[in-house]
Structure 1
Amino acid sequence: MKNKFIKYIAVAAVAIGISACSDDDSIRSESVFDTEAPELTDLDQWIRQEYTNPYNIEVIYKWSEFEFAIERYLYPATLENVEPTLKVVKKIWIDSYTEVGGDDFVKISAPRQLALSGGFNSNPEGTITLGFAEGGKKIVLFNVDFIDFTDRNNIQQFLNTIQHEYTHILNQTVPFDEQTFGEITPTDYNPNWYQSTDAAANEKGFVTAYASSAITEDFAEMVATFLRYDNQGWNDFIDNINNVQARRDIRTKEAMMAEYFNSAFNIDIYELQEVVQQHTDEVVN
């Protein structure tokens, strides 16, 4: 009798299990995820037209704790500043490289994501991170809410960030000769670069104090600073450095920079400089 009772329990358990599986299957037939296509705003549609479709760049402007460091005091860009910022970035960065490097240049080498933050990214030592690149796949830009679109210097400072970070991406695509480049000013690289000034760094053969932090940063700062000036402004910048050897060192770095862009990407960086300045004029005026 006991054995039969156990069998009845076993049969009942199997029946319940089958019923439970059947119920689970019916539940799983409906996804727990929202599969509805998101409703696109006018801004979203503009971004798709100007960035996503032609260049496969996703623009992240809505806040997400997964995109920005939560230990920093950061906040999303004010909505009304997003499109003007992206127009400036496209005109001065994307359109300039496209005009000089060809229609496919940015499409091939661009980061897959561009993230915007409204505020400044302040560091404990008192410096401010204006932007950074992540593994060649993403560029993050800060202080979007503080761009003065009528001020050429302000726009150039902001674009200096993306020109710097994009250079890192190009260097990851085709490395430059770090060893030879680093031998130009080998003894003056300093991780505590923020304790110096740009003027003092200039006298040691660096275009900015941050350039002296590492060889890779030196190269990226060379490109970004070079593109910030027109040709006459660049020459004046170097001529105003008192140290003769420092002027020679920057000129040597300039020659290596120009050779790198020519051999790696068939880009004349002097032509690129001219186009960047033309596009900057169009943005400001």
Structure 2
Amino acid sequence: MKIKYFGFMLLLAASSALTSCSEDDLDPNSIFSTVDGNDEAKSPEYIEFDEWIMKNYTEPYNIRLQYLYNDKETDQSYNVVPADFDKSKGLAKLVKHMWVDTYAEAVSEEFIKTYTPRTIQLIGSYEWNGNGSQVLGTAEGGLKVMLYGVNFLDLDNPRVNTTDPYANKGAVPLDLNHWFFHTMHHEFCHILTQKKDYPTDFRAISAGRYHSTDWVNVKDIDSAKEGFVTGYASGEYNEDFAEVYSTYITMSQEGWNKIIDNAGAEGAAIIENKLSIVREYFYQSWGIDIDKLRTIVLRRSAEAEHLDLHSLN
């Protein structure tokens, strides 16, 4: 009864308002503006951020960075929350510096325009699977990348771990490599291999060793002995390939050596064999020298820790 009464009072108030204003000219322009398909009033800070995205993502690279929640862009089988506005701004600066500009510098701006996903959607929380694993990012058909966990970003303490692959992933402030940029390089690798497949020789290296159903139980520190750079890589060969690539280019030589040393002779030989195929694939298929790319990634990783993530300057 309370709901019906409330609705009736709203209707009555609306009728009175229309009657009292019936002789006035109505403004044909809506007081609401559209932000990424959502009707809401735009504040100056939203306008500023939209203009910054247009200047830094859309106009030069044809990328639409979407920070407002859009249920059409999300997987409805998960419950997630919108990304915080200020943290979205900070991550947008980081993604440009650490990912977009990295490939533009290492390869070319034309490469970014041609092959990067058309949409980057930011989500505040993580997607959780039934087996207890978290979804850190996804790439869909080369057209869209989803980045999760934006609301956990510490704008005052950006930290990029490039030296210890076995560091506590839950330590705060969050390791931006693990939670964002390793993920972005991993997903971009999937996009590129979907366009140009990698040699089938890679699939045979660890055939019969993959943990297709229980990879979530394989710890990173244990996976190297089996020839996998991370536990996630042990799931199947496509993830294995992308993990070798993303781990190598985001880890310093010190960090990579820890994986190799931990692997033992047999595991190290397998990992180095995989890296050789990954290195050759990127050079032959895309003209990318992953060692040159790695140098740029590491330099930008060091720079990222000094970026002002509170402003768009």
Bin for the TM-score computed over the shorter chain: 0.7 to 0.9
Q: What secondary structure does 1:199 align onto?
A: helix
The partner residue of 2:238 within 200, 209, 216 is: 216
The partner residue of 2:256 within 234, 237, 240 is: 234
Equivalence for 2:177: 156
Offset, 1:43: 0.7
Q: What secondary structure does 2:205 align onto?
A: coil
Letter matched to residue 255 of structure 2: G
Letter matched to residue 63 of structure 2: I
Letter matched to residue 253 of structure 2: N
Per-residue CA deviations over 1:32-51 (Å, capped at 9, x if unaligned) read xxxx8766711111111111
Equivalence for 2:223: 201
1:257 corresponds to 2:263: no
Letter matched to residue 193 of structure 1: W
Aligned-partner Cα distance in 1 for 2:231–2:255: 19
Letter matched to residue 118 of structure 1: G
Aligned-partner Cα distance in 2 for 1:37–1:187: 52
Aligned-partner Cα distance in 2 for 1:67–1:206: 32
Over alpha carbons, which structure has the higher Rg?
1
Equivalence for 1:172: 194
Offset, 1:173: 1.9
Letter matched to residue 182 of structure 1: R
Offset, 1:135: 0.5
Offset, 1:116: 0.5
Residues 1-285 of structure 1 correspond to what in structure 2 (within 5 A)?
Answer: 41-148=47-154, 149-153=157-161, 154-157=175-178, 158-177=180-199, 179-191=200-212, 192-241=214-263, 243-285=264-306
Contact 1:198 1:208 in 2 (8 A): yes
Contact 2:182 2:250 in 1 (8 A): yes
Letter matched to residue 206 of structure 1: F
Contact 1:109 1:173 in 2 (8 A): no
Per-residue CA deviations over 1:210-252 (Å, capped at 9, x if unaligned) read 10111110011111111221233323331232x3111000000
Aligned-partner Cα distance in 2 for 1:37–1:70: 23
Query: 5+ unaligned residues in a row in structure 1: which ranges?
Result: 1-35
Aligned-partner Cα distance in 2 for 1:211–1:236: 17
Aligned-partner Cα distance in 2 for 1:135–1:278: 30
Q: What secondary structure does 1:104 align onto?
A: helix
Offset, 1:174: 1.4
Aligned-partner Cα distance in 2 for 1:130–1:257: 23
Equivalence for 1:4: none
Classify 1:43/1:202 alpha carbon distance in 2 versus 1 (closer, same or farther; 3 Å).
same
Equivalence for 1:20: none
Contact 2:224 2:262 in 1 (8 A): no
Aligned-partner Cα distance in 2 for 1:253–1:169: 19
Contact 2:221 2:262 in 1 (8 A): no
Classify 1:37/1:204 alpha carbon distance in 2 versus 1 (closer, same or farther; 3 Å).
closer
Per-residue CA deviations over 1:121-169 (Å, capped at 9, x if unaligned) read 1111100010110011100010011123422231111211111101001
Aligned-partner Cα distance in 2 for 1:219–1:198: 16
Q: What secondary structure does 1:203 align onto?
A: helix
Contact 1:231 1:273 in 2 (8 A): no
Q: What secondary structure does 1:70 align onto?
A: coil
RMSD of equivalent CA atoms: 1.8
Q: What secondary structure does 1:72 align onto?
A: coil
Aligned-partner Cα distance in 2 for 1:128–1:71: 14
Offset, 1:71: 3.0
